[in-house]
Amino acid sequence: MKHQKPYWNLTRLSILAKSCHTDWLDSNRSVSGPIHYNFKTSKRTFKWEHRQAADKHVIDFFDELDKAAEVDHVRLWYLVNKIRNCTDHTPGSDITFKGVSGKSNETILKDWETYVNE
């Protein structure tokens, strides 16, 4: 469970989508009829719920990041380093502020300072 995303608590929908998929496979993969419709609907519902949960997770994370920027710089750096890819040498280890990408700790700190002061 350590590597599972925290917002992936969609077990009920996952089981429903898998069962509809199995039913669809058992019906020789028909492209019309109620079995196909149920399969597509369950798949669509799962994707929609997953998107909603992922968006909520991101919003909650950035709210926590914003709060940490105002209160606790140690917590802020913990969160910033958590979303970075551990080293400055890997792609994606930068953070973008207003279209400007910051890779070094100094640049990121300066950009956070600008963001908080606005």
pTM of the full structure: 0.56
Strand 100-102, strand 95-97: pairing: antiparallel
Phi first, then psi: give them for residue 95, nearest 5 degrees: -125, 135
The answer to the question of residue 85 being in a domain is no
- For position 17, what pLDDT does the model report? 87
Domain tally, the chain: 1
The pLDDT tens digits along the chain (118 residues) read 244 566 666 788 888 888 988 988 888 888 888 888 888 898 899 889 888 888 888 888 888 888 888 888 888 888 888 777 555 555 555 677 677 777 677 777 777 778 777 7
Give the domain extent around 116: 94-118
